[in-house]
Amino acid sequence: MVLNPVISKLAGKLVVLASASPRRREILTNVGLRFEVVPSWFKETLDKSLFGSPQDYAVETAKQKALEVAKRMPFKHLKTPDIVIGADTVVTVDGLILEKPVDKQDAYRMLSRLNGKEHSVFTGVAIILCHEKEGKNIEYNAVDFYEETRVKFADLSEEMLWEYIHSGEPMDKAGGYGIQALGGMLVEYVHGDFLNVVGFPLNHFCKQLNKIFNGSAGTLAVPVDRTSRTADGGPDRPSRREGTTEAAQASGRAERTQIAAEPERRAGGSTAFPHRIAHLLDGFKASKALFAASALKVFDLLDAGHGLTAVQVAEKIAASVVGVERLLDAAVSLGLLEKVQRGEVAVYRNTEEASRYLISTSDLSLHGYIVHSNDVLWPLFTHLEHGVREGSSQHERAFGKQPQDLFQDAYYSSEERKLRFLDAMHSISKVTAGDVATAFDLSGFRTACDVGGCTGAMAYEFAKAYPGMSITVFDLPAVIELNHHFQPHDQDCSRVTFVAGDFFKDDLPKADLYILARILHDWSDDKVHILLRKLSEACSPGGAVLVSEILLEEGRRGPRRALLQALSMTPGSQRSGSEYCLLLKAHGFSQVHVRHTGNFLDAVLGVRL
C-alpha cells in the first residue's frame, strides 16, 4: 500500500486542505490523513477562454485556491503550513466546462446536456509545499496534476431530471450531480477513478505524494513564490508559469499542458500546440459570429423557451439553412447557445447568459454595444496597421470622412444612426452603473450632475441607490432630445432631470457631486485639463468628482480591455488609478480614493477640501 509510508512521512507536519467540500474531507479522512481544513477565499473567476484545455483551467484554479490559503495562514492564523492541498473539479461536455449550477434552471440545463451522453470529469489538484526560510521568508513550491474520468449518463426522462433537481442535490456539485448519492442513479457507467468524480483522485494523489516524499526523480516541485497579485489583492490572471524549467516539463509534469507564451516542449522534444496563439488567431471569427448572430436577431428568436431547429431559424430570418446551421453550431461552440436533441432533430436555445445579455429587449442587453462594435469598431480596427503607423484614428479610412470630434459623426446624421450610438452607450452603462454607483458610499451628496451622462442610464441607477439624491444629466442637445427613448418604466424617474449643453463651452448645473463616466479617456490632455478645471471651479468645499473608467494596472500591463480599447487611437488616453489620483489632485481634489469594481468600469472619487 503506497499511502501508509507516505502518511508516516506526513506525521508531525501541518497539512491543510484548502477546500470546504465535505466529500474531499471524507475521502482524505477515510485513509487516515490528519489535516486541518481552511477553505480557500480564492474566487473561481479565472477566464476559461484563456486556457488551452479544461484540465489546465482546473489545475490552475486548484493551485490558486491552495496558494491563497498557504499565503494567508502565516498572517491570519499565525502559523505556516507544511503542505496545502487544493482541488478543483469540472465537468466537460461538448467542449463546455460545467461548474456548479447557480439555480434549478441552470441545473436543468446542465443535466439535460449530460443526458444520454458520455462526459469527462477532471479534477485538478495542487500540492503546495511551504518552506520557512531564514528571515521568515516563505518559499512556496507546487506540484500539480489532474485526473480524468469518463462518465456516461443513462437516457433520462424530463420527470427524472426534475425529480433529481428538486431533491436539492445538484446545487453544490460540479456538473449538477453527485455520483456518490442520488446522482449515482443517473449514471450508466464510469471509466476511470470513481473518487475523482466524487471530487478527489485519491490514487493519483498518493502516487504524487510518494514521488515527493520518497524522492522519485519523476516529480519536480515548481517555485511559485513569485505569483503576482493584482491591485485589489486578488490573484493575477493566469500567466506563463514562472520558474518552470524544461526539465520540469519533461518530467512527470508533462502529463499536463501549460499555458505558455512560447511554444512548450514535451518530453519527446516535439513542440506542443500553441493554444494561446490559436485562440487569438480565431478570436476575430468568434467576435464576428457573435456580431452576425446579434445583427440577425438570432438570440431574440430563440427566446421562446423550447428552442428552434436550424431550418426554423433560417425560415424566420430569410437566410440559407446551411449558413444558419453553421452559425448556430459555431454559437454553441462559443457557449452562447445550447443544442439539444429532440427525437430526430436538433434544436437550439439560448444559454442563460445569452438570455440575459444578448436578447435585444432584455434589461441588461448588450445588443446595442454589439451592433456598435460590428458597425463602427470593426471597420476601425480593420485599419489598425495604419492606425499604429500614423498614431491616429482611422475614421476617415473606414468611413470616408473625418469628423471634428468622436461624437459629431454619430450625432449629426440620421436619427436612426444617432439612436444606435446612444443604444450602444446605454447598454454598457446599464450593465456597469449599479457597481459604479455603489463603489463608494455617496449617500451624503444631495445633488449630482452626470456630465456627459448620455441617456441617463447611470443617473437612474444613482437614483435607485440613493433615495435622497437628485441627479441632473448634462449632455449635448442632440442627445438630450432623445432621452425619452431610454426612460425606465419600472422606476420613479422624478429625481432625474436633463439639461442640454456643451461641457467645454457652457456653465455646468450646480451640484455636490460631479460624475464623469467614460468621458476623460476620449479627450486629449489639454481638453481633460479644461474640463477638470471647470469642475473644480464648480465644486464647493466638500463637493466631489467621481471618475469612472477602466483603470490601467500600474506599468500598463492590463487589463486587456483597456489596452485593446486604446488601439482605437482616439486623441485621449487610458490611465491607471494613480494617474487619475495625480490628475484630480492637480485640480484641487485633495482626498482621492480608487475602487476596482470587478465590472467593466472602476471608480475614482476626489473630494474638494
Give residues in contact with ligand SAM (CB under 6 A).
Answer: 407, 425, 429, 452-454, 458, 475-476, 479, 502-504, 517-519
- Phi and psi at residue 253, to the nearest 5°: -80, -5
Query: Do the bridges between strand 337-342 and strand 222-223 make them parallel or antiparallel, or are there none, so unpaired?
Result: unpaired
Closer by beta carbon to ligand SAM, 204 or else 518: 518
> Which DSSP state fits 506?
S
What the block records as the C-alpha cell of 568 is 482605437
Give the residue at shortest CB distance from ligand SAM: 452
Name which of 58 and 458 has its Cβ closer to ligand SAM.
Answer: 458
3-state secondary structure of 14: coil
CB of 459 to ligand SAM, least distance (A): 9
Q: How far apart are CA 143 and CA 209, in angstroms?
A: 9
In whole angstroms, the minimum distance from the beta carbon of 234 to ligand SAM comes to 25
Cβ(348)–Cβ(314) under 8 Å? no
What is the spatial distance between Cα 176 and Cα 191, in angstroms, rounded to a whole number?
A: 19
Q: How far is CA 14 from the centre of its chain?
A: 34
Pick between residue 42 and residue 407 the one whose CB is nearest to ligand SAM.
407
CB closer to ligand SAM out of 203 and 565: 565
Please say which residue, 81 or 453, places its beta carbon nearer to ligand SAM.
453
> Which one, 515 or 592, has the nearer CB to ligand SAM?
515
Cell numbers for 129, please give them: 509545499
CA distance 397 to 382: 10
What is the smallest separation between the CB atom of 429 and ligand SAM, expressed in angstroms? Answer: 3
In the chain, what is the straight-line distance between the N-terminal and C-terminal CA atoms, in Å? Answer: 71
Give the nearest distance from C-beta 569 to ligand SAM in angstroms: 16
Nearest-10 crossing angle of helices 3-10, 202-213: 60
- Catalogue the active-site residues: 88
Q: By C-beta, is 319 or 482 nearer to ligand SAM?
A: 482
Nearer to ligand SAM by Cβ, of 42 and 421: the residue is 421
3-state helix, strand, coil in the chain (%, to 5): 45, 20, 35
Task: Encode 324-360 in three state secondary structure.
Answer: HHHHHHHHHHCCCEEEEEECCEEEEEECHHHHHHCCC
Closest contact distance (angstroms) between CB of 391 and ligand SAM is: 21
Give the ranges where 336-476 is alpha helix by DSSP (H). 352-357, 367-372, 378-382, 384-390, 395-399, 408-411, 415-437, 457-465
Beta-carbon contacts of 341 under 8 Å, excluding residues fewer than 6 positions away, are 116
- Characterize the bridge pairing of strands 118-132 and 138-153: antiparallel
Query: In whole angstroms, what is the distance from residue 378 CA to residue 213 CA?
Result: 55
Residue with Cβ nearer ligand SAM (10 or 476): 476
- Quote the least distance from Cβ 504 to ligand SAM, whole Å: 5
CA atoms within 13 A on the CB side of 558: 11
Q: Write down the least CB distance from residue 453 to ligand SAM, Å.
A: 5
DSSP code for 377: I
CA angle, 503 as apex, 500 and 509 as ends, to 5°? 60
Q: How far apart are CA 264 and CA 253, in angstroms?
A: 13
Name the phi and psi angles at 514, rounded to 5: -105, 130
Amino acid found at 401? K
For 152, phi then psi, to 5°, come to -115, 130
